Amino acid sequence: MKRLRIAVLCKINTGAPWILLEAQEMRRRGHEVVVILPPGNGRLSLALAADGFEVVEAPFDFTFRPNVATVRGLWRLRRLVQRLRVDVLHYHFHATALAARLATIGLPLARVYTSAGPLYLESRTICQVERVLWRLDDVTLCSTADISRRYGQLGCPEHRRPIAHFGIDLDRFTPTWLAAGHTAGSPGWAVQRAKARAEIGIDEDAFVAVMVSYVYAPKRLVDRSQGHKGHELLLAAWRSFHARHPQSHLLLVGAGWTEVGEKHRQKLLDRFDVAADPSITWAESVLDVRQYYGAADVSLSPSLSEAHGAAREAGAMGIPSIVSDAGGLPETVDERSGWVVPRGDVAALEAALETAYQEFTTGRLTERGGHARRRAAHLFDGQVTVAQVVDILEYAAEGVDR
């Protein structure tokens, strides 16, 4: 494969950790990489710069308003891509895709869109637009089988909607007990689990559930009354579950996404009187979530719309998951590693918690954790998934007639 110049375009400079892993694989194969991000020192832009990647400020803010500023921004983005003389433009998230498609019409380069999540495809209007606009992508790279299926329904042929999951660093997301050579349920496992709980301030013998997710404000595309990550559903289910099982604890990890999301989180704190509930610990923002997984018995992803969510990391950390049937979440578990419940169903979520608790009391839950680790290693090994992504970028470059 010849040396390519690849530009990665993204609407956010915080989050999207997979971009760094993919950029590292591109560089390892000898390709030149430049990453175009919004201005500012976000976690992503700082990590890329620290690893020696060229980071360029995007001249467009990825918002679409019917005014001259939008046209001017798209024109500046087009000029930037031309100036960078790229062979492949790889863009993430739907707003980024709209900008990339419109700004590069007619340019001799390969266009690869990574669809990170299905939320925008919940809109009938957007789906009608995507029925046309996916044709501007040489490849629509789908992070879940669910997204690939949706694009198939929009007329996209199978060879133009391959699946490549967002991978995780399995070395990093290895539970401390496993790294030390212990097995789940062994004395060594119990020591490491107790240590993680002591650092957070949780009883060693408690049944601990964890939900790792930013809090999003309600979105019109899914449900105007609640955020699409399902925090309201979980907090409602937890009330009655904990009343029956007082020796249980809920860990919530994640602040509000943007100011609007944080305002919604504050409303949840008030609505469910979280400050007065000793059974709930809510960590707004942490640099390392592994400690929280290490303290947990089960992970929760009750989303109304989702790709794979936190279930990938939880599985890698040897934690079984309860997930909703939204989007790609059912792909993350099987009958041995977790449970799938109907989205939006508080009673079903509570029942799954009850089942997990009963398995916790018998020791069966730790066996599920071992299955979850093996499933995560099979499906979400970052070294494998990033190689698949770069293979697809190279494939797309070969198909462009310059």
Task: Dump the DSSP string for 72-130.
Answer: HHHHHHHHHHHHHT-SEEEEESHHHHHHHHHHTTT-SSEEEEEE--SGGGG-HHHHHHH
Superfamily (CATH) of domain 176-379 = Glycogen Phosphorylase B; (3.40.50.2000)
Asked whether the whole model's pTM tops 0.85, one would answer yes
Q: Write out pLDDT tens, residues 160-198.
A: 999 999 999 999 999 999 999 999 889 999 999 999 999
94-103 and 68-84 helices, crossing angle to 10°: 80
Please list the residues that pair with 300 across neighbouring strands: 322
Per DSSP, what are the bridge partners of residue 57?
37
Q: Which amino acid is at 6?
A: I
Cα torsion 364, 366, 371, 375: sign: positive
- Own/partner contacts of 42-50, CB < 8 Å, gap of 24 or more, are 42/12, 42/13, 42/14, 42/15, 43/13, 43/14, 43/15, 44/10, 44/12, 44/13, 44/14, 44/15, 44/16, 44/17, 44/19, 44/20, 45/13, 47/17, 47/20, 48/19, 48/20, 48/23
Q: Cα–Cα distance between 169 and 344 in angstroms, integer?
A: 31
pLDDT of residue 220: 73
pLDDT value for 401: 47
Per-residue model confidence as pLDDT tens digits over 354-384: 999 999 999 999 999 999 999 999 999 999 9
What was the pLDDT predicted at 223?
64
CB distance 215 to 227 below 8 Å? yes
Block residue for tokens 């309860």: 322
Question: What is the C-alpha separation between 365 and 307, in angstroms, rounded?
Answer: 25
CA distances from 81 to 99, 100, 193, 400 (A): 12, 9, 50, 16
Q: Position of tokens 């349920």?
A: 185
Rounded-to-integer distance, Cα 359 and Cα 242, Å = 16
**In 3D, which of 337, 294, 333 has the Cα closest to residue 179?**
294
> Side chain identity at 292, as an amino acid letter?
Y
- Low-confidence stretches of the chain (pLDDT < 70) are 1, 221-224, 400-402
pLDDT of residue 140: 97
**pLDDT for the residue 402:** 41
Asked if 312 and 166 count as a contact pair (C-beta separation under 8 A), the reply is yes
Residue ranges of the chain that CATH labels 3.40.50.2000: 5-167+382-398, 176-379
Q: Which fold has domain 5-167+382-398?
A: Rossmann fold (3.40.50)
3-state helix, strand, coil in the chain (%, to 5): 45, 15, 35
Buried (b) or exposed (e) across 301-313, using 16+ Cβ within 10 A?
bbbbbbbbbbbbb
Report helix angle 18-28 to 382-398, nearest 10: 60
| Predicted local distance difference test score (pLDDT) of residue 219 | 81
Q: Which residue in 189, 8, 196, 180 sits closest to 84, CA to CA?
A: 8
